[in-house]
Structure 1
Amino acid sequence: MNTKVAILDEHNLDKNVLEECGYILRDGGLVAFPTETVYGLGANALDGQAVIKIFEAKGRPQDNPLIVHISQIEEIEKLVINIPDIAKKLMDKFWPGPMTIILPKKDIIPDETSAGLDSVGIRMPSNVIARELIKEAGVPLAAPSANISGRPSPTDIERCIEDLFGKIDYIIGGEKCNVGVESTVIDCTVYPPCILRPGGITLEMLKNVDANIYIDPAIMQKPNKDILPKAPGMKYRHYAPKASVKIIQGDVDRVAEKINSMIDEYKNFGKKVGVMATDETINRYKNALTMSLGSRNSIETVAQNLFETLRSLDDKGVDVIISEAFEEKGIGIAIMNRLKKSAGFNILKV
């Protein structure tokens, strides 16, 4: 397939590119595009055959539901059966933005999009290019991350091209994604609402709307292969680089001592080691390829850099990636959720 590529300036959008991509989407094609979280791979959410092409391009299991993206709140009414008051409050507070709300779906949403569930996740991105593309297409877009299934999600156009060039119709680029991890997914088919995937909208922020909102404890544990996923990423290993990933958690001095010991051990076996550290600790590690995720005093930066750092260490040909752990509060919960999944829940406490 001949994949077209264009980079857009969100302050001066090229209408011709958007019009062409809108036509492709209405005609059953695939377009990758930027959002504030990660890049998405979009298809007409109401066209089951178009949605199947997403799974084929990504190599994604078809029992993994997709999130439906809209450009304005009014579009949601034709997609879902009802909108509880708590869902309306959350939309008013956090849309447009990195939050997906699960609601009971209408029949207009095909089973291919919802993975056969009677519910669907809806999101209104804050990224200008994403919303203008949806408007131009005139249909809601089913859009998982624009990468090969299981690999770290892309936060810039280069990674989309690396994974999907020749497999889809068009790739639109924009600025680097400023959140860096996928949207928070909150199930509003139940009360109290339950977070099924942590993201940029944190538990603390959601509790300011309703103190009863909670995180499903299962999402921070190794997934059960028999689980019926209500949200993307609940069942399968995700965000994984080619290298194996190990996470070390504990007191900063003990963590550094353990990681340095592991570096020496792996090197004795001829393994090339990469370490994901922070600005405050990067100089503690020797004899390994070390990359900083950012400062622990700016945990949002760590989230922004997480996926790209995993991919960059892959580019360097490391066999093993050892990462420091992060405190599980605020967006740190989302960071650790992604890290644990990338490591297959291989975490060592010291």
Structure 2
Amino acid sequence: MATVVDCADAVSLLPGMREARAAIARGDLVVMPTDTVYGIAADAFQPNAVQALLDAKGRGRTAPPPVLVPNRSTLDALAETVPEAVSALADAFWPGGLTIVLPARSTLAWDLGETSGTVALRMPDDRIALELLAETGPLAVSSANLTGKPAAQTALDALYQLGDSIAVYLDAGSTPGPDPSTIIDATALVDGTGPLRVLREGVISREQLEAVVPEAFSIPESEPAEDGLDAADAQVARQAAAEADADEAIPVDQPKPTE
């Protein structure tokens, strides 16, 4: 039976966080608050745990979850290359509602699904989430809801939808949602084929992003490098990442995918 932890209760918070850490370590799922909506968290480096996350939501491997990180330095540890413009945006908007899609390090021992070598990374601006991430390391996190249903803004909403597929629910009251994170695709900056692209405009506007790195949005597009990701496969991975932490949101300039 799932455990619900009242994070407002100082007496239950410490043992509750300990139980959440233990659940993550053994490959179980935890629902935790973020600065947008509640999310289902799994150890990003345990493939069985990531698959359990997808199963709990009723979603396939073509919709890989984003990865939440505890600090800015983890961006460099998980991404193969971090362009200067991306570093500037992370410095400006992390922790916060900015998800960054980059090529993942090829040496990482994880399986997030059919990502075509990309990963969507974000550092959330939420105390409970950051405390858990500091103890567990990077977590695969997708919105706490069944696919096609509204993302949960309370732990009880998540419990109603997900039930005992989750080991521990960290209840920190209502989250700021429902506006999702803004998602940018920086893969073209890495391979030199084009500008930053906004896949989904959420809590951070395109204008705010352009104010920090205007030059990154004005690079002309060119043909991808021969050794780059296959364009069609990469597009699938990026669209899946865009859908992963808010099921009802449609990425900017992307058609709504069919279920």
Report 1:266-281 matches (<5 A).
none
Partner of 2:67: 68
Amino acid at match of 1:33: M
Report 1:80-229 matches (<5 A).
80-109=79-108, 112-137=111-136, 139-191=137-189, 192-211=195-214, 228-229=236-237
The percent of aligned pairs where both chains have the same amino acid is 29
1:310-334 per-residue CA deviation (whole Å, 9 max, x = no partner) reads xxxxxxxxxxxxxxxxxxxxxxxx7
Amino acid at match of 1:100: T
Give how far 1:187 is off. 0.9
Amino acid at match of 1:229: A
SS of residue in 2 equivalent to 1:83:
coil
Give how far 1:110 is off. 5.2
Amino acid at match of 1:207: E
1:71-128 per-residue CA deviation (whole Å, 9 max, x = no partner) reads 1112223211111101100001000001111111013545631524211011000011
SS of residue in 1 equivalent to 2:159:
helix
Kindly indicate whether the alpha-carbon contact (under 8 Å) linking 1:10 and 1:128 is maintained by their aligned counterparts in 2: no
SS of residue in 2 equivalent to 1:22:
helix
Partner of 2:36: 37
Kindly indicate whether the alpha-carbon contact (under 8 Å) linking 2:45 and 2:110 is maintained by their aligned counterparts in 1: no
Kindly indicate whether the alpha-carbon contact (under 8 Å) linking 2:115 and 2:237 is maintained by their aligned counterparts in 1: no
Separation (CA, whole Å) in 1 of partners of 2:97 and 2:63: 19
Report 1:1-16 matches (<5 A).
2-9=1-8, 14-16=13-15
Give how far 1:48 is off. 1.1
Q: Which has the larger radius of gyration?
A: 1
User: Against the structure 1 CA distance between its residues 239 and 35, is the aligned structure 2 distance closer, same or farther, given a 3 Å change threshold?
Assistant: same
Separation (CA, whole Å) in 2 of partners of 1:12 and 1:36: 24
Where structure 2 has 5 or more consecutive residues not aligned to the other structure, the ranges are: 190-194, 218-234
Amino acid at match of 1:45: A
User: Number of aligned pairs?
Assistant: 235
Kindly indicate whether the alpha-carbon contact (under 8 Å) linking 1:71 and 1:135 is maintained by their aligned counterparts in 2: yes
Q: Does 1:79 align with 2:87?
A: no
Please list every run of at least 4 consecutive aligned residues from structure 1 whose deviation after the TM superposition is greater than 4 angstroms: 10-13, 108-111, 233-236, 334-337
Kindly indicate whether the alpha-carbon contact (under 8 Å) linking 1:99 and 1:123 is maintained by their aligned counterparts in 2: yes
Separation (CA, whole Å) in 1 of partners of 2:174 and 2:158: 12
Amino acid at match of 2:166: I
Where structure 1 has 5 or more consecutive residues not aligned to the other structure, the ranges are: 215-226, 241-333, 345-350
Amino acid at match of 2:53: I
SS of residue in 2 equivalent to 1:143:
strand
Give how far 1:10 is off. 9.2
SS of residue in 2 equivalent to 1:228:
helix
Question: TM-score if structure 1 supplies the norm length?
Answer: 0.61
Give how far 1:156 is off. 1.2
Question: TM-score if structure 2 supplies the norm length?
Answer: 0.81
User: Against the structure 1 CA distance between its residues 114 and 336, is the aligned structure 2 distance closer, same or farther, given a 3 Å change threshold?
Assistant: closer
Q: CA RMSD of the aligned region, Å?
A: 2.9
Separation (CA, whole Å) in 2 of partners of 1:158 and 1:127: 18
Amino acid at match of 1:146: A
1:125-179 per-residue CA deviation (whole Å, 9 max, x = no partner) reads 0011111011122x21000101101211111112101111111111111131214
Separation (CA, whole Å) in 1 of partners of 2:89 and 2:237: 22
SS of residue in 1 equivalent to 2:67:
strand
Kindly indicate whether the alpha-carbon contact (under 8 Å) linking 1:21 and 1:170 is maintained by their aligned counterparts in 2: yes
